[in-house]
Every structure is written in structure tokens, then in C-alpha cells.
Structure 1
Amino acid sequence: MREIVLASASPRRKELLRQLIGDNFKIVPGSYHEKPQPEMPVLDLIIHNSREKAREVASLVSFGIVIAADTVVLCDGEIIGKPHTKDKAREMLRKISGKKIHVVTGLTVIDIDANLQKSTSETTGVRIKIMQDAEIEGYIETSEPLDKAGAFAIQGKGAIIVERIEGDYFNVVGLPLFRLNTILRELGVDVLEMT
């Protein structure tokens, strides 16, 4: 069985990958930090970030398949990041209230043994309900919006502010499983054989 390496410390990505391939992987988080690159189109930047994360971790391991992802939330075409304070979370939640936002993940998979690299992206549309101030405050008090892209977690209490999605649900959580499986199959990895 091929060694699979997840280049992320995200507990959400860990759980999603476990859903796909069981415990047949190890985690090697890198130290790559995204840098603002205003001259680069958003989609290119997200793929670039996933590629750099994957390359950094691939340089630390000697064999296997490395998986890296970078997920952002776009509102009105602009990246909204992760709030680290309640004030920032409040600002972000007011911004996305009543809007259709887009969750975009750049995904890179490197097969070290075959010296192959595949990068792609996945976009999911998410319609956010119109939120009243009291609802925003109540959600902030759960602390769930802190350090989440777009200030909400669809897999948690944030589900109550999501009216509907168009596309891959798992992409909104942080790892587009359908797209990942497609790449793994191209590299000769059958997830149905991994338990």
C-alpha cells in the first residue's frame, strides 16, 4: 500500500481524509505561510499556495503521496480570511449575511515515487441566510467562527446560517473528496481498497 501524507494540521482535513481512506495516512504539517500576492488572480494564488505546501512537505519525506490544500472564502470576489477576534468575526458575518459566497480550494497531490504533481481547484457556492444581529452575536459566543475561513463552520453550528450549497459539501469543510479521489485514481490509488 502506498504511503499517503497529509500536509496539514487541520483537524477537519484529517477527518475528511480518514473518511476516504481510513487511518492509512500520516500527518506532516509544513510551515509554509501564504503571502499576499495582489498581482496574482485569486484562483492561481489558491492553487499556488496548495502547491507550495505540498512541495515543502514532499521535501521532508522520501517517498509516498503528499496531499495539500488551501481553502479560501470569496465574498463579492474578495478573499475573506479567518477572524481571530470576535470583532473581526462580527464584521465578516455581517459582510456575508444574505449573500452567495464561494468557497474555493486549491488541491495539490505529489507522487514522490513517480515524480508527478497534479494541481486543481474546486469551487462551491454557498448561500448564507440574512442574519439578525442577535443571531450573529449568539453564533460568535459559541467561539466557532474564530479561526474559520469566512467566520463559519458548515459542519458545526454554522450549518444554521447556510440556506443551500451548490457543489461539493466536503469542499466547504476543507477538502474536496470527489476531486481528490479522481487524482488518486489517476495515480493508481484505489480508495475502496483502503480500510
Structure 2
Amino acid sequence: MTQLVLASQSPARLATLRSAGVEPYVLVSEVDEGAALAAAREAHGDLAPEDVALLLANAKCQAVASRLAASEVPDDAPDDALVLGCDSVLEFDGQTLGKPLHADDATARWRAMRGKSATLYTGHWVIDDRADGTGATFGAVSGTEVHFAEITDAEIEAYVATGEPLLVAGAFTIDGLAGPYIERIEGDPHTVVGIGLPLLREMFAEIGVEWHTLWNRPRG
């Protein structure tokens, strides 16, 4: 069995992995995303949305891998595992959007997005930190097009009042309260949740890890 360390505090990513039979060890990276993006933009200029997602996934994964190597973690943290970092951003109308800053921001986004479409990008970064592993460090991005329903102002206000859109990239979910407001998607639904399982399976295969070897969660 291969142990997976998830460098994310996202409940949706954790739930998605659990549903796929994987119980990862969760270790939050505590990366300052704003500072990481500012440094990258200073060095390289404007970044495409998919590059933003990959950059932050890399930063989270590297931070957690470094903590594991330095033993700055709880005693039960695995020291022979794959480390995974993920990050998601939404591209809409030429803008790269993460989590809304506040309720008014979320409301404005939904009023602009309703009846239209946007692309949700999720970046994945993997570090093979197994004792007998490859030592590989690499990443990939998946993108899924999301089509929003033409919802009313009252529906937007009610949704924003729940607080859910303030917690997620793009200000919406498909596996939560916003599900009825998404007409359809084109691509992998897991990407919209924040972790692209088909892409991740392919990434692990590149380093000789078959998905079923990650299964460690009781079923039935």
C-alpha cells in the first residue's frame, strides 16, 4: 500500500479522495498564496490561470515535503509517502479568480457569471518522497468548462448568505449548495471539486504507482 500525504485543508478534496478509497494523511501547507503569486509575477510577469493553479499547487507540495524532511510535523506523519499539493482557480471573462474577498465580491461575481460559462483549472503537484521511490517532482493541470444557470438576484443573495461561496475558488461548488445553479459541465467533474482523479491516476502511473495501491479506506 502506498501512503498519500495531502497538502491541503480542503474538505472537498479530502471527501473526494475518501470516496475513491483513499484516506490520505492531511498536512496543511500554510503557504502565503498572495506572497507566492506576487513573487512569481514580479519575476515572470502576468501568469495564465493554469499557471497560477500549478504554481500554488507546487508551493503547497514543496512546503509540506520540506516539513516532512525536517520532521517539523506530528509524530504520526508518514516519512515514506507521496506528497500531493492542489490549487484551483477560475478563468472568467479574461480574469483569474480565486476565493472571493467578501460577500459583496461573491455577489458581484455571480451576477456577472449567471447565464455564462467559465473554466475551472486545478493544478496538481506530486513529490515522490518514498524511500524506494523515484524522487520525482512534477505537476499537471486539468481544466473543466462550467456553464452557470440564469439564476435570480434572490437566489444569488440566498446562496451568498450561506457563506459557502467565500470558501471556494470561483465562489461556487458543484458538490454543495450551488449544484442546482450549474446547468452543465464539459470535462472532469472532479476537477471542479478541486482534485482531478483521472489526471492524478495518470500522474501516479508515470512513477509506477497504480491507483489501487493507494486504497486504504474500508468499504462496504
Is the Cα contact below 8 Å between 2:49 and 2:121 reproduced in 1? no
* Cα distance change, pair 83–41 in 1 and its aligned pair in 2 (3 A): closer
Q: In the alignment, is residue 7 of structure 1 matched against residue 7 of structure 2? A: yes
Is the Cα contact below 8 Å between 1:86 and 1:146 reproduced in 2? yes
Aligned length: 194
Gaps of 5+ in 1: none
Find the counterpart in structure 1 of residue 146 from structure 2: 126
Find the counterpart in structure 2 of residue 69 from structure 1: 86
Is the Cα contact below 8 Å between 2:49 and 2:90 reproduced in 1? no
| Structure 1: distance between partners of 2:163 and 2:53 | 26
Find the counterpart in structure 2 of residue 29 from structure 1: 28
| Structure 2: distance between partners of 1:144 and 1:46 | 21
Q: Which amino acid aligns with 1:81?
A: G
Is the Cα contact below 8 Å between 1:73 and 1:149 reproduced in 2? yes
> Which whole-Å deviations, capped at 9, do the CAs of 1:132-159 have from their partners, x for residues lacking one?
2111112222222222211111101201
**What RMSD over aligned residues (CA atoms) do the two structures have, in Å?**
1.6
Residue 67 of structure 1 deviates from its aligned partner by: 0.5
Q: Which amino acid aligns with 1:175?
A: I
> Which whole-Å deviations, capped at 9, do the CAs of 1:105-150 have from their partners, x for residues lacking one?
1111110232101210000000001122111112222222222211
| Structure 1: distance between partners of 2:84 and 2:57 | 9
| Structure 2: distance between partners of 1:153 and 1:45 | 20
Q: What is the TM-score when the length of structure 2 is the normalising length?
A: 0.82
> Which whole-Å deviations, capped at 9, do the CAs of 1:15-67 have from their partners, x for residues lacking one?
112222332x2111111122242523332222121111111111112431101
Find the counterpart in structure 2 of residue 145 from structure 1: 165
| Structure 2: distance between partners of 1:56 and 1:143 | 29
Find the counterpart in structure 1 of residue 50 from structure 2: 43
Residue 185 of structure 1 deviates from its aligned partner by: 2.1
> Which whole-Å deviations, capped at 9, do the CAs of 1:53-104 have from their partners, x for residues lacking one?
1111111124311011110011112112212422121111112111111000
| Structure 2: distance between partners of 1:45 and 1:143 | 25
* Cα distance change, pair 79–40 in 1 and its aligned pair in 2 (3 A): closer
Find the counterpart in structure 2 of residue 16 from structure 1: 16
Q: Which amino acid aligns with 1:153?
A: T
Is the Cα contact below 8 Å between 1:20 and 1:191 reproduced in 2? no
Q: Secondary structure at the match of 2:175?
A: coil
Identical pairs, percent:
34
Structure-to-structure mapping, 1:97-136, within 5 angstroms:
97-113=114-130, 114-136=134-156
Is the Cα contact below 8 Å between 1:80 and 1:92 reproduced in 2? no
Q: What is the TM-score when the length of structure 1 is the normalising length?
A: 0.92
Find the counterpart in structure 1 of residue 178 from structure 2: 158
* Cα distance change, pair 185–21 in 1 and its aligned pair in 2 (3 A): farther
Is the Cα contact below 8 Å between 2:49 and 2:91 reproduced in 1? no
Q: In the alignment, is residue 185 of structure 1 matched against residue 184 of structure 2? A: no
| Structure 1: distance between partners of 2:11 and 2:166 | 15
Find the counterpart in structure 1 of residue 66 from structure 2: 59
Q: In the alignment, is residue 93 of structure 1 matched against residue 110 of structure 2? A: yes
Name the stretch that deviates more: 169-178 or 83-92. 83-92
| Structure 1: distance between partners of 2:147 and 2:5 | 33
